[in-house]
Structure 1
Amino acid sequence: MAPPTVNDPWLAGRHFGIVIDAGSSGSRLQIYSWKDPRTIKVEKGSELAYTLPKVEKGTKDEEQWVKKVEPGLSSLVDNPGDAGAYLRPLVKHALDHVPPSLHKDTPLFLLATAGMRLLSPQKQAEILHETCRFFLTHTNFKIDAPSEAGPCGSSVRIITGEEEGLFGWIAVNYLMDGFTGSLDQPTTYGFLDMGGASTQIAFEPSPEHRKQAKNLIDVRLRLLGGEEIRHKVFVTTWLGYGTNQARERYVGRAIAEFESTRHEDDDDPDEDVVSDPCLPKDLELVETPVHTQSATSHMQLSHKLLGTGSFEQCLRKTAPLLNKNTPCPDTPCLMNGIHVPPIDFSASHFIGVSEYWYSSEHIFGLGGAYDFVQYERAASEFCSRDWGDIIKEHDESRQKHHLGGDGEVEKGGKIVETGRWGPRVELPRLHMQCFKAAWIANVLHEGLGMPRIVDPGGNATTDGDKVEEEAKKKGLGRPTFQSMDTVGDIAISWTLGKMVLEASKEVPALKKSAKPLVDPIDDIEDLAHSPIQPIRPPFWSIIGLEDRLTPHLPSSLTRTSLGFSPVLLMLWVFFTMFAFLVCYPNRRRLRSVCLRSVRSVSSRRDPFDDLLEEGRLGGGSRPASPTVFGAKVPSALRHIFPSSSSSSASDSRSKPSNSTLSLITNGTALRNLVPGPSSARGSPTRLAPMINGNGNSNGSAMMSESHDYDPPPTASSTQYMHANTISRSSSPAPGMMHATDDGLGGARSVLTPRPAAISRSSSFARNF
């Protein structure tokens, strides 16, 4: 589909933003758009002045705003050079849907997450460098300049789990109007995200706990009226607390407990069956332990797990995985000894996405406002079912609902039923549903300390817009926790939060001195001591080199102590010395090259320099120009930067006399030697002393004869040169003449006259 044209009303005053979420399983490009805040008329004090820019899908066809490729960007670990071919479909999609006239003003971001974090720093740098190079050479989108974050600045980088949480927190509060600050909503919403490898929490502590809270991060946004809003947000990540990683830890623990009761002489493989209450009844899976502390050889073998289907026992078995008893160096702590400020659940309300939504909605149909009683009832029923019955129902659902998926039944592109197992509810999800349901419940209640709300009515609402309405009907007001996937037609995603921040940056500030808006991680003042550290692979740059060398330097030699970079200073000194050592032995050659370069630019040539370069100048070098150094120039550099005083002595020895070149003997000028107009111009060749047949010079005879010669006035000529003006001739061996007090002195070099010149000179002598 072609991008909208310039005359399209939808395009008027619209800006675009592109984010590529480079995850572990694939990379998803999302195009967002918003109206230019500078074109929106906002009246002071109006409701519009206290809202953020409205960020929407970036295409008129709502199905075209997303494009995904598989597998993940991290799959290029062995072939970083293939990044261009990998990203080409995504870039082409963006080029096809963003108007070309807006490309240079459209920011493009590739922000990598889980998969790229697992690679070595060197591999990370190689892939990101190739990605940056591809964007710069194949697109005209807006890309950040090189910085310490990478060759494309913050446009191409790996984000931390905490950054994901902060962007997700912005997205949730943007969609749920959490930034309005009205009396009905005194605080913002908290954000919970659970993936396969980790889980994140981001929330704004209550005012009474905010003062004592540590490691809070400033999140700054700008409303359409120009007012800046600031929130102090706490965010942290628990690695290994995602559903998949938690399952691996659980399997290792279950097999270890089984092996501790197993007899050493029992080698019957049929006896290696581990009962698993977190699997549906009679489901058999063969798994190999991954997370074991002191694994024996037999413990490392694959074991068969047999499901017993008890949700209550599964809750008890998974609770120790929270590591609530881990030492807490900075109280209070929640899980694994990680500090978290106190959470006031009577005022704080949380929204869970990703696995919180999938595990609640896709199988149980309980997405939305969370009720533990209803949730526990549905989970217990599912876990206790026979696996054969579950498979049968799954197959029937796949055949019946061809258009359905993820627990939803679609007709004509609209969801008409929920709570069904569509064709995209695959068997692996059914395998792990019992475990995931128990793990989520334990994280919420045992890990985070969320109270169990009793609501006999339950909830089966899946539309995010109806969640609060349904909750109020049940007397819950704003529910303490609700799982959501979309609000209206906008998916809850950390990429949306990133774009809300970018759109907010375009709002003109009320004061010109206002601090520019940046990503939250760039607002951390003492980043070196912050628990949140950006992921910065070792790119080959001076800044990256400084970052690697600084930890090995004494504190007194750091940039902070000196006020400048000692690494950059050392590099400057090194390159200066290196350049001097290379250039000094080749100074004459370099000077000649420089002279030629200057002439090629100015298109001017000096005859004196021609003779100097060709080695034909026997009378010394050009007089040196005075320098500011005078006689203070060191002797080693004096011939490179000659001073007027140091060169005066050499000038007297090597320079030819500046007196007028004339062949004067007893007052008669030899410039009158050649009579008539035919003597157009004399040359050193014609003025050379004649060599007779005996090898003697007959120049003196010529001079004596010419002394008595008084040519007629018509034969006079004034076309001989001065000493510094040399006539160019085709003589095979030209030389320089110099004048003396007695007349014409000998040539500096032997001049070989041309035969024609000799004959003319002989004829001229006979005429005397």
Structure 2
Amino acid sequence: MPPPTAADVWLASRQFGIVIDAGSSGSRLQIYSWKNPRSTLLEGGDAVRNSLPKVEKGTREGEEWVSKVEPGLSSFAENPEGVGAYLVPLLEHARSHIPPSVQPDTPLFLLATAGMRLLSPAQQAQVLHSTCQFLKFHSNFRIDGPSAAGPCGSSVRIITGEEEGLFGWIAVNYLMDGFTGQSSDSTTYGFLDMGGASTQIAFEPSLKDRDKSRDLIDVRLRLLGGEEIHHEVFVTTWLGYGTNQARERYVGHAIKAHEDKYENSRAAEGSPLGSSTDAEVVLDPCLPKDLALVESPVYIESSTSHARQAHKLLGTGSFEQCLQKTLPLLNKDMPCPDAPCLFNGVHVPPINFSVSHFIGVSEYWYSSDHIFGLGGPYDFVQYERAASEFCARDWEGIVKEHKSTRQRGGHSGDGEVVKGGQVVEVGKWGEKVELSRLQMQCFKAAWIANVLHDGIGMPRIVDLGGNDSTHGEEVAEQAQNKGLGKPTFQSLDSVGDIAISWTLGKMVLEASKEVPLLSNSDRPLVDPLDDIPESSPHPIRPIRPPFLDLDLIEDHISQHLPSSLTRKSLGFSPVVLILSILLTSVLLSLTYRLRRDLKAYFRRCRRGGRWRDRDIILEGYTMEEGKAANGYIGNTPPPSPSSYLPSMLLRPLRRFMSSSRPYPHLISTVSSKPKLRHTHTSPARLSPTTGSSSPTLPYQSGMSRSASPSNNYFDDGTMPSSISSLTRSRNSSQINLTTLVPRQIPISRTNSTLHVPNGSAFMDE
């Protein structure tokens, strides 16, 4: 469809921004928009002065503000040239929804996440370079130039898990009005995010704990009135603690425990290894009852080959046992080098859950809402009851219900059945829920509960009076009536029609950057990690892939080398050795060729401005009564910059500059008063000629100086035909020059002056 036109009222004073979330399974383009901050302030006045720009969808209606392509950007690690064709549909979608007139002012960001982080630095650099080149030369959107962040600056780069957490924290508090509260007891919301590979936490510690924390990041935003607000946020990520990788670790532990048990029993009975068929079946309480899956261990510490083989896991459907089996995966007993720590030895400042309230997205929402219908305010009693009932169900019955749900169209996919605008049933999944989700739901539900309560330390609030409600809104209302305040934790997917995601937080920051500064002393806004000084020991740093990777070079060279010259055979990198030898040879060669100039250079540095050589002759000045024209006393002129550098390096430049002058060997500069250069040598004087009067040049009385004969020749060894002689008298204060034009012009002495005909290079301009 064609892009909207300027006549559209909705477009008046509207700005756009594009974020491409380059994830591991696909790249999702999202278009956001907001009104120009100046226009918003003029229209709203004081009512909007203390608020942030309102970031909305980039399209007026529908879901066309989002477009996705598959697979992930990281799949082009071995074929970076294919990135262009991969991104074409996304660019075309953005062009079709953003007016051409505002495209040059629309920032475009391609920010890669987990998939790209797993590539080698060389692969990262190659994919980012190809992406940058394509976006820069095939779109009209605004893209940064090269910088330390990458070939397209901050527009195309890989973000860390911590940056995802910070952007998500901004998004949550923006949607929940966490940045506009003015009361003394107002606090920002904490942010929890869990994916398949990692989990993040971001929150603002209490005032008393901020002074004790060294790893806080300053998040700066600018309100529409120009006031800058600061929040000191702690953020950290646990790699390997997402649901998928936690499951892989769980399978490895379960198989190892099973093998250890049967190995001991076989040894006691004297049976050979693998003689029992029961040894191939591992009972798994984290699978629905009677569900059988064949899985190979990925993470396992066992010396036996049998333990590393595929095993059958048979579900027993016990949520309580699953909680116990998955609890050790948190590694709570890991050493804590920087107390306090939560799990796996990771430092986290103290969290006061009576004040800090958290919002969870991604897996926190999916595990609660899509199957159980318990998204929103969290109540552990209802959550545990729903999980226990689901895990205990027979897998065959679950499959039949899933099939019938698909056939009759199913529900919305959020676990709730709505009739007449009212929720009449929960715990029913929709047609969007896949069987793979149902297989892993029991494990994921247990993992979420353990991370929340035993990992992060969120208290299990149990209502002793009983609470049979299955609706999160009623739980929140009851908590409010009992004086418990807002729920400690709630899972959300969106607020209104805006989805909660780190891409929204990035755009809120970009829109805030557009607000004019109140004064020139204010600092422009930047991404949070860019505010960390380079000299700071802060553990969180942006990802900066190198543009020269020795490992990549070695991989290419090793293919053409015999096996005896590879790193594996030699025990060291042959590429590093070769490059070191080449670099050393070049340095030694340059040092040898410049040895004389380097000696002179260091000698001049030691002597300072007192040392002069013939290069200083080219600096013109006039001596009059012992005082130089530039104000220096004595015969020593100020040192020129060229006198401190090896003449070998400056000679080509000097030759080029002198070739543009009519008489380069006699004339240095033309100033308000013609100057006659003097030298240090006194060769034999030449006979003067006489002639007519002309403008005069002053010369110091009693000086006897003459230009060096060597300077009267051009570079090819010939003498200029216009120069016949140079004469100076010892006994008078006169100097006689031969004619300085192509024909002989006589020069006469009058009152100790030098007369030069009109048109001479010595005349005042």
Fold equivalence (TM over 0.5):
yes
**Distance in 1 between residues matched to 2:653 and 2:177, nearest whole Å:** 73
How far off its partner does 1:477 sit? 2.8
Deviations 1:314-358 (A, max 9, x none): 000000110111010111000100110000000000000000000
Confirm or deny that 1:442 pairs with 2:450. Answer: yes
Deviations 1:33-60 (A, max 9, x none): 0000011235999342111110000012
Letter in 2 for 1:327: P
CA drift of 1:523 comes to 1.3
1:540 is displaced (CA, Å) by 5.2
Contact kept, 8 Å, 2:302 with 2:308, in 1: the verdict is: no
Distance in 2 between the 1:452 and 1:594 partners? 86
Q: Distance in 1 between matches of 2:22 and 2:393?
A: 38
Q: Corresponding residue for 2:429?
A: 421
Shift of 1:182: 3.8
Change (3 A) 1:232 1:124: same
The Cα of 1:2 is off from its aligned counterpart by: 2.0
In structure 2, the CA distance between the partners of 1:593 and 1:657, relative to structure 1 (3 Å rule), is closer
Decide whether the 8 Å contact of 1:406 with 1:423 is kept in 2. Answer: no
Structure 2 counterpart of 1:267, from 265, 269, 274: 274
**Residue number in structure 2 paired with 1:53:** 53
Per the alignment, residue 708 of structure 2 pairs with 645
What CA deviation, in whole Å up to 9, does each residue of 1:636-656 have, x standing for no partner? xxxxxxx952436658x9548
User: Given the superposition, is the C-alpha separation of residues 92 and 650 from structure 1 closer, same or farther in structure 2, using an over 3 Å criterion?
Assistant: closer
Whichever residue aligns with residue 523 of structure 2, its letter is K
Q: Does residue 1:304 correspond to 2:312, yes or no?
A: yes
CA 656–285 in structure 1, closer or farther in 2 if over 3 Å, else same: closer
Alignment CA distance shift 1:384-1:646 (3 Å): farther
Contact 1:222 1:507 in 2 (8 A): yes
Answering whether residue 503 of structure 2 is matched by residue 495 of structure 1, we say: yes
How many angstroms apart in 1 are the aligned matches of 2:40 and 2:652?
67
Instruction: Give the AA of the match of 1:186.
Output: S
Equivalent residue of 1:142, what SS?
coil
Task: Show the 5 A alignment for 1:739-758.
Answer: none
Closer, same or farther in 2 for the Cα pair 1:447/1:213, shift >3 Å? same
Matched letter for residue 374 of structure 2: L
Partner of 2:191, secondary structure, is strand
SS in 2 for 1:104: helix
Give the equivalent residue in structure 2 for 1:238.
238
2:527 aligned residue (513, 519, 526): 519
Judge conservation of contact 1:368–1:467 (CA < 8 Å) in 2: no
Amino acid at match of 1:316: Q
Residue pairs, 1:611-650, within 5 angstroms: 624-627=665-668, 645-647=708-710
Matches within 5 A, 1:283-298: 283-298=291-306
| 1:356 matched to 2:364 | yes
Q: How do 1:358-373 and structure 2 match up within 5 A?
A: 358-373=366-381
1:181 corresponds in structure 2 to 181
The corresponding residue for 1:400 is 408
String of CA shifts for 1:49-92, please: whole Å, max 9, x gaps: 11111000001233110000001000001101111111111111
Q: CA deviation at 1:268?
A: 3.7
Contact 2:76-2:83 at 8 Å conserved across structures: yes
Q: Kindly indicate whether the alpha-carbon contact (under 8 Å) linking 1:27 and 1:72 is maintained by their aligned counterparts in 2.
A: yes
- Deviates further, 286-295 or 61-70: 286-295
Give the Cα separation in 1 of the matches to 2:109 and 2:475.
33
Cα contact 1:165–1:202 (8 A) shared by 2:
yes
Q: Give the match for residue 686 of structure 1.
A: none
Contact 2:386 2:427 in 1 (8 A): no
Structure 1, residues 211-242: CA drift from partner, whole Å, max 9, x if none?
21220111111111211111110000011110
Q: How far does residue 625 in structure 1 lie from its aligned partner after superposition? A: 4.5
1:585 deviates by 12
Distance in 2 (alpha carbons) for counterparts of 1:496 and 1:577: 58
Question: Measured at CA, do residues 162 and 312 of structure 1 come closer, stay the same or move farther in structure 2, by a change above 3 Å?
Answer: same
Can you list the C-alpha shifts for 1:454-513, whole angstroms capped at 9, x where unaligned? 2544665589xx996686467643100000001010000000000000111111232221
- Which string of whole-angstrom CA distances, capped at 9 and with x for unpartnered residues, describes residues 179-225 of structure 1? 12243961100000000000000000112222212201111111112
Q: Please, which of 356, 359, 381 is the counterpart of residue 389 of structure 2?
A: 381
Which residue is 1:162 aligned to?
162
- Alignment-mate amino acid for residue 710 of structure 2: S
**Contact 2:296/2:308, CA 8 A, preserved across alignment:** yes
Change in 2 beyond 3 A, CA 1:409/1:98: farther
Superposed CA offset, 1:8-41 (max 9, x none): 1100000000000000000000000000001123
Partner of 2:287: 279
CA distance in 2, matches of 1:319, 1:168: 27
Q: Which residue of 2 aligns with 1:531?
A: 539
The CA distance in 2 between the partners of 1:520 and 1:585, in whole Å, is 45
- Equivalent positions of 1:319-718 (< 5 A) are 319-401=327-409, 404-407=412-415, 419-455=427-463, 456-457=466-467, 472=480, 476-525=484-533, 528-539=536-547, 624-627=665-668, 645-647=708-710, 655=719
Aligned residue for 2:226, secondary structure, equals coil
Partners of 2:416 and 2:132 lie apart in 1 by 39
Once residues 13 and 538 of structure 1 are traced to their aligned partners in structure 2, the CA distance between those partners, rounded to angstroms, is 40
Alignment of structure 1 residues 48-197 onto 2, 5 Å:
48-183=48-183, 186-197=186-197
SS at match of 1:529: coil
Contact 2:132–2:156 (Cα < 8 Å) also in 1: yes
SS of equivalent to 1:261:
helix
**2:626 paired residue number:** none
What is the TM-score when the length of structure 1 is the normalising length? 0.71
Preserved contact between residue 129 and residue 151 of structure 1 (Cα < 8 Å): yes
Please give the secondary structure, in 1, of the residue aligned with 2:306.
Answer: coil
CA distance in 2: counterparts of 1:656 and 1:59, whole angstroms: 77
Structure-2 separation of matches of 1:657 and 1:308 = 109
Q: Give the match for residue 640 of structure 1.
A: none
**Alpha-carbon contact 2:122-2:548 (below 8 Å) kept:** no
SS at structure 2 position matched to 1:63: coil
- Structure 2 residue identity aligned to 1:435: F
Q: Give the 3-state SS of the residue equivalent to 2:328 in structure 1.
A: helix
SS at match of 1:234: strand
TM-score if structure 2 supplies the norm length? 0.72
| In 1, Cα distance between equivalents of 2:650 and 2:181 | 73
Give the 3-state SS of the residue equivalent to 1:262 in structure 2. helix
- Taking the aligned partners of 2:520 and 2:226, their CA distance within structure 1 comes to 11
Q: Give a deviation string over 1:136-182, Cα, whole Å, max 9, x none.
A: 10111111121111011111100000000000000000000111224
- SS of corresponding position for 2:533: coil
Answer yes or no: is the 8 Å Cα contact 1:630–1:645 preserved in 2. no
- Could you report, residue by residue, the CA deviation over 1:520-548 in whole angstroms, capped at 9, with x for unpaired residues? 1111235651111211100259xxxxxxx
With over 3 angstroms needed to count, the CA separation of the structure-2 counterparts of 1:273 and 1:164, relative to structure 1, is: same
Question: How much does 1:266 deviate?
Answer: 3.6
Contact 2:83 2:131 in 1 (8 A): yes
- Unpaired runs of 5+ residues, structure 2, are 267-271, 550-586, 599-646, 670-676, 682-705, 725-739, 744-765
Q: CA deviation at 1:270?
A: 2.7
Superposition deviation, residue 298 in structure 1: 0.8
Describe the shift of the 1:207–1:267 C-alpha distance in structure 2 as closer, same or farther (beyond 3 A).
Answer: same
Amino acid at match of 1:647: S
Q: Which has the larger radius of gyration?
A: 1
Q: Contact 1:281/1:308 (CA < 8 Å) preserved in 2?
A: yes
Are residues 336 and 585 of structure 1, via their aligned partners in 2, closer, same or farther at CA, if it must alter by over 3 Å?
A: closer
Q: CA RMSD in A?
A: 3.7
- The letter for the 1-side match of 2:253 is R
Q: Aligned to 1:353, what secondary structure does the other structure show?
A: strand
Q: Is the 8 A contact 2:665 2:712 kept in 1?
A: no
Residue 333 of structure 1 contacts residue 339 of structure 1 at CA under 8 Å; is this kept in 2? yes
1:113, CA displacement in angstroms? Answer: 0.3
SS of equivalent residue, structure 1 residue 46: helix
Contact 2:382 2:470 in 1 (8 A): no
AA matched with 1:214: R
Percent of paired sites with the same residue: 65
Q: Distance in 2 between matches of 1:182 and 1:589?
A: 66
CA apart distance, 1:294: 3.2
Q: For structure 1, which segment, 412-421 or 515-524, has the greater mean C-alpha deviation from structure 2 after superposition?
A: 412-421
Distance of aligned partners of 1:16 and 1:430 in 2 relative to their CA distance in 1, 3 Å threshold: same
